[in-house]
Structures are given as structure tokens and as C-alpha cells.
Structure 1
Amino acid sequence: MQRLTLAVIEDLTKDDFLGGKLRVYQPRKGYRAGVDPVLLAASTPAKPGQTVLELGCGVGVASLCLAARVPDLSLTGVELQDDYAELARRNALENNAMLKVVNADLRRLPAEVRQQRFDHVIMNPPYFDRTASVAAQDAGRDVALGGDTPLADWLDIAARRVGPRGYLTIIQRIERLPEVIAALEGRLGAMILRPIAGREERAPELFLLQARQEGRAAFRMAPVLVMHKGKVHAGDKESYTPQVNDVLRSGAELPILP
């Protein structure tokens, strides 16, 4: 296992999430977690005592936000990049969260993960198709935003790890919705889609999607989640809607189907 070098450790920020309930170390440069993993965690319907697998956990923000809201979870995170995996372990320790971090390529999961099925699988996979986008200059950011693992592989691996009556919850860019639905069709059911728009009367840019193992309910569309108040940006102060503010600042639950 590669450890963080002193140079990398010195080039970190310690950032607040959930209104300061979590303090998380992140690289100052490279991929930095924002609101998306917080929304992902808030939309995961986990209950105390259940098992959760996060694929591509980065520095652990989604899993740690989920742990802050739901006690007594058994959390496992898989992260390809050594430095990010090590930061996720450090963040779990400093936030008193029981998160086991596995440093591995999700296409070559160790036996300890492949032999398990989980109540919940969550993921915030790379948003951009590497074959149709330009690589980022920072290697860590490039893996997080594009990487070389096709989205179909992420979804196939995730579906295999969802246990009986378990859930997959994913956040992704809206243009990749057809890929997601196609990859899950016939694998998981009871899909619920929740588009995410920046403001009123704007087209959604992201979506949350939840699907269930052995789910038989018809496909459903939830109301659009609007992130900011008003139709235009006004000033530098935050303008999150009350619901989104409760999620980001208080760790509130965000049911995918209100």
C-alpha cells in the first residue's frame, strides 16, 4: 500500500461538510468533493445495521455523510487511487466513522468484497466519457471525472454487489441517463429518477437514480430537485432552497421520491 508523502499531506485543505459535523481532508489541487456526494448520501435509504458499499469513494465524503445521518452502518468504500484511499481512511478515523476503505480497481475487486452482497450500493462515477472528452491535467482529477473504466462497467459491477431487495443509488450527469437505464434494464427494477436543476425553469444537469434488486414497480419520475432559489444568480451569498440547505448544512434526508 502506498502511503501519502509529506508533500501530498502538506498540500491539503480541511473542509466542513454538513454544517461542520464533518471535517474532511482533501487535496488542495485535483478532484475535490462538492455537493454531489452529499446529495447522494442524503438520498440513500439506509437503516441502522445495514451494509453499504461505495464504489469510487474518493476521500470518503458520501460514506461519511451517510454515517453521520444513520448510525450503526457497516460501510465499505472502494477507491482506485492510493492517496485518495489513504485520505478516506484518515477522514473516517478523524470523524469516528466505521468505514473500511479498500484500495483497488473496481474491475478487480478483492475476494473479500466480491464475496459480499450489500443492502446498498452507492456511487458518484466519473461524469465524462473519456472517449469523448479531454483529460484533465491533474491525474487525480482526471480519474475522478473521466477515468478509463466505462460507465457500463461501473453499473455492471454495482448491480452484482446489490443484495436481495437491496438498492443501488447513483448520481450522474443527465446526458448519461440513457446509458444508465440501458445498463440496468433487466438487472435491477423499480427505478426512480429524480432530475436535478440549478434553478427554476432551467433544464436539469444532473440526476439521482435509485433501483432495487428484485424490484417490480414501474419506472417512476420524481419531481425535479431545484438547488437554488430564484431564476438568476443574485450576489455572492448562498441561495440554496430550504430543502437543499437542510441537506447540505444539517445532514437531512433527501428521499428520492418525496
Structure 2
Amino acid sequence: MNRAGEGVATEDRLLGGRVRLRQPADGYRAAIDPVLLAAAVTATPGERVLDLGCGVGAAALCLLARRPDLRVTGLELQPELAELARINAAANDHADRFEVVTGSALAPPAAIAPGGFAQVITNPPFALAGAGTVPPDRSKALAHVEAGFDLAGWIRAAARALAPKGRLWVIHRADRLDALLAAFAGRGLGEVRVLPLWPKAGRPAGRVIVSARKGSRAPFALLPGLVLHRDDGGYSPAAEAVLRDAAALGGD
């Protein structure tokens, strides 16, 4: 990790070079999930956004590249990743818009006030504890596998941070959609919208982006989704627009 200049990190580019991202050469590395999550967010200028489990800041910085009129706070458990997120905020000229707080969502620091955010975005660990092989790298394991803090707890923390009528945005595995919707129950989260992400046309969705509004009773909606790849493996034109050209991913 790159902590105060130590460790091995690479500098990568997202959104066609709009976002510079230093991240560990080994361990957890951001791919397209945080880019897609950021593209889905709709917000009013000036709103406060919480990136819950922000890692090195990929989702937050992709959001700010498209919406510099927002203010983002990132909460990250791992100090090494939090430090890289601060470095990335400065490198992308967003240090005044992207504050990174080190701490746990289980016991959020004072900076993560209950009801303090109009939007919460999050890319929680995808894998159930005990299901499959745990990555040997500790940082990668924390990012990928639920450990002492399951999906229901993650959503509970997100809902706690949301202001009334605020909206939660989650990207997760499609085969865990039932668990995600169950986690919404009893949290005052309604107006649920599900946007499928298909790896190729005619294939089952691999990911979903799910949003919900706190205190709303509007009905559930299944939105038009996005096909990510052509048959030859390249990105579809619609996916290229989102991943390379910073286009918004419609749905709100």
C-alpha cells in the first residue's frame, strides 16, 4: 500500500483519463463496479454524499468528475486505503470536495452524523463469509468477503447516515439481490429501483445497481438495464459512453 509514500502502488486512469487513481499494486484494486455505481447517482447541486467503504476513492472521484457540484465524504476502515484516497483527492483537484474519514461503519466517527447525507453510495463486500476461498491478501479479503459485518449491517449503517428522503445506491451481485432487498426491510427504505447489468446480451445479469429512498412508499421498479459487452468481448457502445465518456447511467 502507499501510506505516506510507502509501499507499492500503481497509477491508473478511469473515465477515459479524467480520473487519476493510485491504488495498491497487490490486494484490492478498483475495476468497473465503482465507475458504474457513480454513473447511476442522481443528485441536486450542493448535496452531501457519503461513500461508505470508499477504498481508494474510485466511486467518489468518478462521481465528482461528472458532478463537481457535490460534496463527498468517504468512510474507509483500512488506513492505508484511506490515505491513498486522500492522495487521489488531491491529485484530481478535489481535496476541497472529497473528505476521507478513517473508521468503521459499525461505529462511525463523529464526522458521519446520523441523517447527515442526502445520498449514500456503497460497494459492499460481495461474498458471504465461509463461502469459497478467502483471498490471502488481508486488504483484498476485507473488500470482498463479509467478516463480522454482514450485508444487513452494511445497509443498516447506510440507512442511519441518510437524511429523510435521501437515496441509497448499492452495487452488488445479482445472485444476492434477494438478500439485499431483505436487508432494506425495516429500514424505512422504499421506492426501490433495480437496474440490471448484463455481461452480454441474452446472459443473466451479473451485477445490479439498487437504489432506495428513505421514508418513501413509492412502488418497486425494475429499470431498463445495461449490456456491458458485445459478443466479441469489447464494451458495448452504451457501456463505453458510461465507462470512457463519463455519461450518466439513466434510471432516476
Q: Structure 2 length normalisation: TM-score?
A: 0.94
Residue of structure 2 equivalent to 1:141: 140
Contact 2:226 2:238 (8 Å CA) reproduced? no
Structure 2 match to 1:96: 93
Residue in structure 2 matched with residue 169 of structure 1 by the alignment: 169
- Distance in 1 between the 2:58 and 2:220 partners? 29
Which residue number in structure 1 is paired with residue 117 of structure 2?
118
Query: Who is 1:127 aligned against?
Result: 126
Contact 1:195 1:225 in 2 (8 A): yes
Conserved 8 A contact 2:191-2:217: yes
Matched, 1:250 2:241: no
Moved more, 110-119 or 128-137: 110-119
| Cα shift at 1:47 | 2.6
Q: Distance in 1 between matches of 2:125 and 2:157?
A: 15
Aligned AA for 1:160? R
Name 2:60's counterpart in structure 1.
Answer: 63
Which residue pairs with 1:236 in the alignment? none
Of the candidates 36, 45, 48, which is equivalent to residue 45 of structure 2?
Answer: 48
Give the letter for the 2:111 counterpart.
E
Q: Tell me, what secondary structure is at the counterpart of 1:64?
A: helix
Between Structure 1 and Structure 2, the one with more helix by share is 1
| Contact in 1 for aligned 2:227/2:238 (Cα 8 Å) | no
Shift of 1:115: 4.2
Residue aligned with 2:45, SS? coil
Identity percentage of aligned residues: 41
Take 1:28 and 1:213, find their aligned partners in 2: how far apart are those partners?
38
Give runs of aligned pairs for residues 76-91 of structure 1, distance below 5 A.
Answer: 76-91=73-88
Distance in 2, matches of 1:256 and 1:124, equals 18
Q: Distance in 2 between matches of 1:110 and 1:141?
A: 23
Aligned equivalents of 1:6 and 1:72: distance in 2?
Answer: 30
Q: Aligned-pair distance for 1:147?
A: 4.0
User: How big is the shift at 1:242?
Assistant: 1.3
| 1:214, distance to aligned residue in structure 2 (A) | 1.8
| Unaligned stretches of 5+ residues in structure 1 | 234-238
Partners of 1:122 and 1:89 lie apart in 2 by: 18
AA in 1 matched with 2:39: A
Q: Does 1:213 align with 2:214?
A: yes
Query: Match of 2:185?
Result: 185
Change in CA separation of 1:180 and 1:253 when aligned onto 2, cut-off 3 Å: same
Structure 2's unaligned 5+ residue stretches are none
Which residue does the alignment assign to 2:197? 196
Q: Distance in 2 between matches of 1:49 and 1:130?
A: 38
Q: For residues 5 and 64 of structure 1, what CA distance do their matches in structure 2 show?
A: 20
Per-residue deviation, residues 191-246 of structure 1 (Å, max 9, x unmatched): 0001111001111111000100122211111123210122x53xxxxx11111101
Residues matched between the structures, number: 248
- CA drift of 1:18 comes to 0.7
1:158 maps to what in 2? 158
Quick one: structure 1 residues 6 and 22, their matched pair in 2 at CA, closer, same or farther if it must change by over 3 Å?
A: closer
2:158 match: secondary structure: helix
Shift of 1:112: 2.3
The CA deviation at 1:250 is 1.3
